[in-house]
Every structure is written in C-alpha cells, then in structure tokens.
Amino acid sequence: VLVAASSKHGATGEIADVIADELRTRLPDADVVRRDLDDGDTLGEVDAAVLGSAVYMGRWRKPARRFVELNSTRLREVPVWLFSSGPLGDPPVPAGDPDVGALVTISGAVDHRTFAGRLDQANLTRAERLVAHTVGAPSGDFRGWADVRDWATAIARVLSEITATV
Ligand SMILES: Cc1cc2nc3c(=O)[nH]c(=O)nc-3n(C[C@H](O)[C@H](O)[C@H](O)COP(=O)(O)O)c2cc1C
C-alpha cells in the first residue's frame, strides 16, 4: 500500500505519516510504503494507494497533480484514496473541497477527503505571507488527528475486506 503526499511546509507530510502508521497498525501483514510525491513520478508495483497534497490557491501542488495524471491508467486498476490538506481556522475556511474533481475522475478514487491544515507564519516565503495576509488566513495548526485516523481506519477496513475475498 503506497501512502504518498506532496507537502510544501510539512503539514501534509505529517498527515500522510499518521495515515501510514494507522494502516501499519490495522494491516500488520501489509507492506505500507510511505513516499514523497515530489521525489519522482514512478508509481511502482502497488495494490492500493493513498495520495495527498497540500492545497495552494485552490489546487493540489504540481508534483501531486502530475503524479496522478502520469499514473492514471495504473491507478484506475487498484483502489485509490485521495486527500487534501488546506482549510485553516475554526471552523476551517474555505469550506468544501478544493479543485480535485478531475483528479478523482482520472484516478478512479474511492473517496477524496479534505483535512484542515497548518499555517506557520515563520516558515512562509515573503510571497506566501502576503497572500495569507491578503486572504486573512489564520495562523495555527488546525489538523484534526482523530478525523485523519478515522479515515485511515476506514481505508484499512476496505482493504482487509478486499484481501479476505481474494
Ligand atoms: C500562500 C498560501 C495559499 C493557500 N491557499 C489555500 C487554498 O487555496 N485552499 C486551502 O484550503 N488552503 C490554502 N492554504 C493553506 C495550506 O494549504 C495549509 O496551510 C496546508 O496545511 C499546508 O500544507 P504543507 O505544510 O504540507 O505545505 C494556503 C496557504 C498559503 C500559505
């Protein structure tokens, strides 16, 4: 099971780490591989994939979009889950999903989930700080670890059902 994400400032990578940990706990016989989508476009031999990206300006990061586009044929042959990390604040804004409809379609994803993100002013580039200030994005860590773990648990349940019927 591939768990891979594209993260600019680390928040999305840590969500992927938690998903991978949860899958390893729930599926002790599975080989859960944790990768960074910025490290290359090769999908490799996988039986399932959980792919995610941080959201900037309403879209997934380019390496993540490219990975799904280049591997869409093979991804459609295996169960795929997509997740996004973006909205900030309490309640998180923007509400709703980023622009991932085409990625869901071409990957044949079972599900797409948007998780709240983290914005740490100290780590931003000057341009990012300006955008964050202009749109009034609040600083802080709004990631909901229980939501992330629940989603991973649901994925593990589906994967163990598939394995049981093979
Ligand atoms: C310049 C900038 C633009 C952003 N645009 C969006 C956006 O359009 N939609 C959204 O949900 N989150 C947006 N965010 C919030 C980030 O996606 C969020 O902080 C995310 O958790 C960062 O993940 P990363 O640390 O893995 O890069 C933006 C943040 C910055 C700094």
Q: What are the tens digits of pLDDT across the range 100-147?
A: 999 999 999 999 999 999 999 999 999 999 999 999 999 999 999 999
- From 60, 61, 118, 119, mutation site for ligand 1 pocket: most ligand atoms within 8 A of C-beta: 119
The pLDDT score that the predictor gives to residue 155 is: 98
The pLDDT of 64-87, averaged and rounded, is: 98
Segment 10-57, tens digit of pLDDT: 999 999 999 999 999 999 999 999 999 999 999 999 999 999 999 999
The pLDDT score that the predictor gives to residue 86 is: 96
* 129 within ligand 1 shell (Cβ under 6 A): no
The pLDDT score that the predictor gives to residue 165 is: 77
* Residues contacting 16, CB < 8 A, separation 6+: 3, 4, 5, 7, 34, 50, 52
Q: Which ligand 1 atom is nearest residue 131's CA?
A: 1
- Cis ω for the linkage preceding 94 (within 30 of 0): yes
The pLDDT score that the predictor gives to residue 166 is: 67
CA 94 – ligand 1 centroid, Å: 10
